[in-house]
Chain A
Amino acid sequence: AQSVTQLGSHVSVSEGALVLLRCNYSSSVPPYLFWYVQYPNQGLQLLLKYTSAATLVKGINGFEAEFKKSETSFHLTKPSAHMSDAAEYFCAVSENRGSTLGRLYFGRGTQLTVWP
């Protein structure tokens, strides 16, 4: 089975600072990777996804992530944090073989706090 590890359950940055949220995956086949964001009292929404095209993926709200096969990583970054980025972020890997094709395995989440 696939798995995802998010390093750091809480990350705090100042407004305007770089945001870096870490994600490492375990997969026996080339993975498809996703970042979702959850704002307070809402469901999850997709930020970006990697599906084996360009390794640098750009998403909504200025976020991007780079797929690095050698490091089995898919870290999420944003050059300059905004107060509105405060949310919980989830990395996920898709099952891409077998009878459960298409299901996602989620990491435990990283809560991002942005200080003024």
Chain B
Amino acid sequence: DVKVTQSSRYLVKRTGEKVFLECVQDMDHENMFWYRQDPGLGLRLIYFSYDVKMKEKGDIPEGYSVSREKKERFSLILESASTNQTSMYLCASSFVAQRSTDTQYFGPGTRLTVL
């Protein structure tokens, strides 16, 4: 069965802290994605990666960076957390790089609060 796991369900951090959100998939998927979800705004793409060490900016990359050193793991980094980054963060993966018909499989999400 398909599995995407995220390191934490809930996280509380302070303004200015460096924050790491980890995502792991066990399906040998090529594509991985990071979204943030806010009420009334739907899902907005932060970054995605279609191969190890490759990354593409999404719609709202400012204040975030990513790392993909291994195929199964995709990390989202908040270099200096701010209160406007309080949100739900969702990771997803899909099988084949740059194939537009593929289903994306989602993790359960990390609810991040920045105080």
Contact = CB atoms under 8 A, between A and B. Distances in A.
19 contacts: A42-B108, A42-B109, A43-B92, A43-B108, A44-B43, A44-B92, A45-B106, A46-B104, A90-B43, A94-B101, A100-B56, A101-B98, A102-B94, A102-B98, A103-B45, A103-B56, A104-B104, A106-B42, A108-B41
Contacts of B74: none
Interface string A102-116: 111011110000000
Interface in B34-62: 35, 40-45, 48, 50, 56, 58
A72 interface: no
Interface in A62-112: 90, 94-96, 99-104, 106-109
Interface of A: 9, 32, 34, 36, 41-46, 49, 51, 90, 94-96, 99-104, 106-109
B103 interface: yes
Contact of B106 (A9, A41, A44): A44
Interface residues of B, number: 30
Interface in B79-102: 90, 92, 94, 96-102
A112 to B, nearest CB: 15
Most buried by B among A34, A41, A43, A46: A43
A34 B94 CA distance: 14
Instruction: List 6 A-B pairs, minimum CB-CB distance, nearest first.
Output: A43-B106, A96-B100, A108-B42, A101-B98, A94-B100, A106-B43
